[in-house]
Structure 1
Amino acid sequence: MIVRHLSVCKGGQILGRWSKSWKTVPLQGNQTRRNCSSLDQTRNEERKYEEVRIPVPWGHIAGKWWGPKNKQPVLAMHGWLDNANSFDPLMKLMPSNFSLLSLDLPGHGLSSHYPAGIPHHLTEDIVSLRRIIKHFGWQKVSFLCHSMGSTYAFIYSAIYPKEVNKLVGLDILRPFEMTAEFYAKNGGNYIDKYIETIQNTREPPESTLEDFAKRQHEGSKKSISVESSRILMERGAYQSKSKPGLIGLRRDVRLKVTFLHNLPHEYLIELASRIRCEVYNIKAKGGMYYEKKSHYKQTIEVLKKVAKAMQYFEVDGTHHTHLNTPENVVDIVKDIFCDDIA
């Protein structure tokens, strides 16, 4: 079941309700979307993606480029401790002429880790995102992102408001919230925890794919299915050199300290007020909130006033519904990116 909530464009224009058959949806003035039903709907099950390596000063950022290379792709970013494989199930349901570059964020998947001693902070990751966009020379970009990736796209859309066409957040839309009081009271403890983590934490011993998949399933509070965990492990793990049949985790252990990714609500509202692109939030009914729901709704209301378009959807599934049950979101994603599929 998919629920479409009332959404308002800039200027107060009301958007129509979403249904599984495409409806022409007014955006602004006389601008309208195309009907996607007439476009190429060939799926990607049998097609191969192309591996991409983008040079950065500390190594490279890896990615998977799905679809044609002769047109600019939609840029996809995964969630915390996931990787570029997060979008594989969804891409296998998308038309073959839809172009998407799914990234491994630094420290994830096949991407290089940051230099030793550097903590993972959202500023560094957004700088990395800027490097990628400049590397390709793209003047404007569109985002399809999940969780942590959505938070980066949200900030990027606010600080480069003229350089983003569309922002699609899967479950999460805005950065995670933290009060100024909490930061002042607990900041020192978290910094010490970070240093201790780097000095003492080791990844679990090498084990079987099934063991790691079950651990990730349980560790995510069953948000990630066991089958989806296997998909992520295909890219997020390495084959043991000394123990045939066993794998180990590639991820950067520094990612386990996430405190430095959170921002005060007032800051997030200011960022939202600067976003001008089309914004879409596909929220899972069994998804997650990292703030008061009233604060999340306030962000949506701000975006309705300032963004070119703001649409909010609710779909069945968990925080990882795009990975576990991509059929819950694929028709919405196809409609949003109708022009990019042409």
Structure 2
Amino acid sequence: MTDVNKKELGLVGGSPVERVFNLTGERSIYAQVWEKPGAPIFIALHGWLDNSASFSRLAPLLNVTVVALDLAGHGLSYHRKAEAPYHLWDDLLDLDEIIEQLGGAAVGLLGHSRGAIICAIYAATMPERCNQLLLIDGLVPEPVSSDKFPTQLRKAMLEFKRHAKRTFPVYDSVDAAAKIRHQGLFPLSETAASAIVDRGTKPVEGGVSWRVDPKLLAPSMIKLTSEQISALVADINLPATLVLASEGMPKLFPFFAKNLHAFTNIDMVDLVGSHHLHLEDEVVQVAALFNQKIDKYQGENNCV
């Protein structure tokens, strides 16, 4: 990609700049971009209920240009239609269209948690579009056996109706909202919580409230089986590194750690830290590891 094209795409600037990807159907995906001139591009996908600010500490330390997206329903990006749930496969289509807008050449993918799952599925199904995977505490979704399909579908349908009508609380300030986020499923430091909440809230009458689409809180209507998940991961044939946090997914979801040994095509590295270790003090370790992997592999792959 030429410097002229990068300017047209909003990819030039020493500090993060806002970029809007206007997709078909009047949908807009917002992004924050950390530019490293002459470096390969990595698209970064955040976790569930987070936003692109999740990469605000890691992106500046990497030897690549990071295009961190606000996935649909998160941050500043569009919300799906009232009757539409949030499926991983829909995010795949958004990601594919964004890669097209970046020139269509293969890019690196950087993902955390739910974003890591999306990256892994995309890499398995569209290998010509990406050249390297860097994943943080996420790789595959929780499987559901085929005989549980009706139960899962019923649960999701009922929960979807409830969450579609849901309204979020109003907080006096962003700081007050950050204290709530600080105590979430995966606890965050106050600094880390503030980074995500600054972008994840909006002003409303009486204070601030969450920007995320409440439908994101509904369970998935369809979950993959163990066989489908294994088939997807087996088809990842590009350099892939997964950082596992000692206090993250392996601890909260034992099934996750139990099945990882079967995925020998993924380079797995254990680090001490929380689920959001890329946003906490462990970010230096994560960046050093990823830069090592980037330097090793990017010269062997097609870069934009």
TM range (shorter): 0.7 to 0.9
Say whether 1:54 aligns with 2:54: no
Q: Which residue of 2 aligns with 1:282?
A: 243
Q: Which residue of 2 aligns with 1:323?
A: 279
- Shift of the 323–137 alpha-carbon distance from structure 1 to 2, 3 Å rule, reads same
Q: Which residue of 2 aligns with 1:41?
A: none
- Shift of the 329–72 alpha-carbon distance from structure 1 to 2, 3 Å rule, reads closer
1:248 aligns with one of 209, 212, 216: 209
Q: Which residue of 2 aligns with 1:63?
A: 31
Tell me, what secondary structure is at the counterpart of 1:74? strand
Within-5 A mapping of 1:155-194: 155-194=121-160
Q: 1:279-334, CA deviations, whole angstroms, 9 ceiling, x for partnerless residues? A: 10111111114435332221x22x2xxxxxx3211111011101122123111011
Code of the aligned partner of 2:19: V
Q: Which residue of 1 aligns with 2:51?
A: 83
Q: Which residue of 2 aligns with 1:195?
A: 161
Contact 2:171/2:177, CA 8 A, preserved across alignment: no
Q: Which residue of 2 aligns with 1:220?
A: 185
Code of the aligned partner of 2:20: R
The CA deviation at 1:78 is 0.3
Q: 1:248-300, CA deviations, whole angstroms, 9 ceiling, x for partnerless residues? A: 211111111132473211101111121111110111111114435332221x2
Contact 2:149/2:222, CA 8 A, preserved across alignment: no
Code of the aligned partner of 1:89: R
Extract unaligned runs of 5+ from structure 2. 1-12
Say whether 1:92 aligns with 2:92: no
Extract unaligned runs of 5+ from structure 1. 1-45, 304-309
Q: Which residue of 2 aligns with 1:232?
A: 196
- Shift of the 87–191 alpha-carbon distance from structure 1 to 2, 3 Å rule, reads same
Code of the aligned partner of 1:317: G
Q: Which residue of 1 aligns with 2:80?
A: 114
Within-5 A mapping of 1:257-268: 257-260=218-221, 262-268=223-229
Q: Which residue of 2 aligns with 1:314?
A: 270
Query: Over aligned residues, Cα RMSD in angstroms?
Result: 2.2
Distance 1:207 1:219 in 2: 19
Q: Which residue of 2 aligns with 1:337?
A: 294
- Shift of the 251–81 alpha-carbon distance from structure 1 to 2, 3 Å rule, reads same
The CA deviation at 1:162 is 3.0
- Shift of the 261–153 alpha-carbon distance from structure 1 to 2, 3 Å rule, reads farther
- Shift of the 314–261 alpha-carbon distance from structure 1 to 2, 3 Å rule, reads farther
The CA deviation at 1:136 is 1.9
Code of the aligned partner of 1:273: A
Distance 1:261 1:74 in 2: 29
Distance 2:201 2:38 in 1: 31
Greater RCO (Cα-Cα under 8 Å, separation 6 or more): 1
Say whether 1:140 aligns with 2:106: yes
Contact 2:33/2:65, CA 8 A, preserved across alignment: yes
- Shift of the 221–276 alpha-carbon distance from structure 1 to 2, 3 Å rule, reads closer
Distance 2:260 2:184 in 1: 25
Tell me, what secondary structure is at the counterpart of 1:324? coil
Distance 2:131 2:184 in 1: 35
Distance 1:164 1:204 in 2: 40
**Residues paired across the two proteins, number:** 282
Distance 2:184 2:270 in 1: 25
Contact 2:152/2:222, CA 8 A, preserved across alignment: no
TM-score (norm 1): 0.77
Q: 1:46-89, CA deviations, whole angstroms, 9 ceiling, x for partnerless residues? A: 94111100002232000011114665511100000000000001
Say whether 1:295 aligns with 2:263: no
- Shift of the 247–166 alpha-carbon distance from structure 1 to 2, 3 Å rule, reads same
